[in-house]
Amino acid sequence: MTILKNEKDLVVPGEVLAEGLDYLPGYGAFREGEKILAKNVGIVAIRERNVGVVALSGRYMPKAGDKVIGEVLDVQMSTWFLDINSPYQASLGIGEASEEYVERGADLSRYFDVGNALYAKIISVSKHKNVQLTMKDIMCKKLRGGKIVDITPSKVPRLIGKAGSMISMIKEKTGCNIVIGQNGRVWIKGENEDLATQAVLMVNEKSHMDGLTNVITEFLDANSTVTTGTKTDYVEGDVNAQ
């Protein structure tokens, strides 16, 4: 077995990553005979016996269990419909919106209205790509104010960092509360939203770079005036909270 590419090499679709049968194609790669080839433009990732490609672009494909940031597009009699940065819309039924009883026929826009941003959990994705959401999770909430920045969904782990190290550092140095959706949406609110946005977009752009944490730290140290640490902003998740 021969590995033809190094970890973090940039590759294009059809480029040969490895030859032989000792390795398996990972996410973003496929086998053709004894060769493993790239499916898309991206960065080579080698994990034990798997050789894959982390895509540099592309929309989010929903998975049950993921927490996502969605924007309410429509409100109907018993359901909210949300854009989750995916080819498929998601729905939030009245029964999954709150632990408390919401009377059928009530004006649902009193709780979540068109344009509102929600941090919700995907509970199921059918074979026809019907995506169902819930707010019945301790982390789920309505996101008030702030701003939303889009990054490549595959870069989310890089933004979070090992044990949350990268995002914790950005929060501390900008005084911002930051919520990351696995669909590539990042909600930012706080003392220096513009600086936090720049840092998030730098991580997205330079995710392949070695020593990225030091690069972002130096950038924030040179530009931040925050001295009080991370702020915690009030956000609501209960549809009955006003």
Q: How many residues does the chain have?
A: 242
Is pLDDT at 130 greater than 50 in this prediction? yes
Would 234 be classed as within a structural domain? no
- In this prediction, residues 85-90 reach a mean pLDDT of 88
CA 206 remoteness from chain centre: 17
Question: Distance between CA atoms of 176 and 242, rounded to whole angstroms?
Answer: 23
85 and 115 share a domain? Answer: yes
Q: 125 and 164: one domain?
A: no
Residue 84's nearest CA partner among 67, 63, 68, 97 is 68
- The domain that holds 89 is classified in CATH as 2.40.50.140
State whether 42 and 97 are in the same domain.
Answer: no
Q: 37: part of which helix (H) or strand (E)?
A: strand 35-38
Domain count, the chain: 3
Q: Are residues 216 and 180 in the same domain?
A: yes
Domain membership of residue 216 (yes or no) is yes
Number of other CB atoms surrounding residue 64 within 10 Å:
11
pLDDT tops 50 at residue 236: no
User: Mind listing the pLDDT tens digit for each residue in 135-154?
Assistant: 999 999 999 999 999 999 98
Mean pLDDT of 201-209: 91
User: Among candidates 170, 165, 172, which has minimal Cα distance to 227?
Assistant: 172
Is residue 133 domain-shared with residue 155, that is, in the same domain? Answer: no
Q: Answer yes or no: is 33 within a domain.
A: yes
User: Which residues span the domain enclosing 25?
Assistant: 2-55
CA 215 to chain centre: 22
Nearest one of 62, 111, 69 to 88, comparing CA atoms: 62
- Give the CA distances from residue 7 to residues 35, 207, 212, 238, in Å, rounded to whole numbers and listed in that order: 17, 13, 15, 44
Whether residue 153 sits in one domain with residue 137:
no
- Tens of pLDDT, residue by residue over 211-233, are 999 999 999 999 977 554 444 34
Query: CA–CA separation, 32 vs 43, rounded Å?
Result: 20
Does some domain include residue 125? yes
Task: Answer yes or no: are the C-beta atoms of 82 and 71 closer than 8 Å.
Answer: yes
Q: Residue 46 — very low, low, confident or very high, per pLDDT cuts 50/70/90?
A: confident
Residue 62 included in any domain: no
* CATH number of the structural domain spanning residue 196: 3.30.1370.10
Q: Are residues 137 and 151 in the same domain?
A: no
Per the confidence metrics, is the pTM higher than 0.95? no
Q: What one-letter code names the amino acid at 132?
A: Q
Please check whether residue 195 lies inside any domain of the structure: yes
Is 228 inside a domain boundary?
A: no
| 153 and 217 belong to one structural domain | yes
Would you call 89 helix, strand, or coil by DSSP? Answer: coil
**Are 98 and 45 in a shared domain?**
no
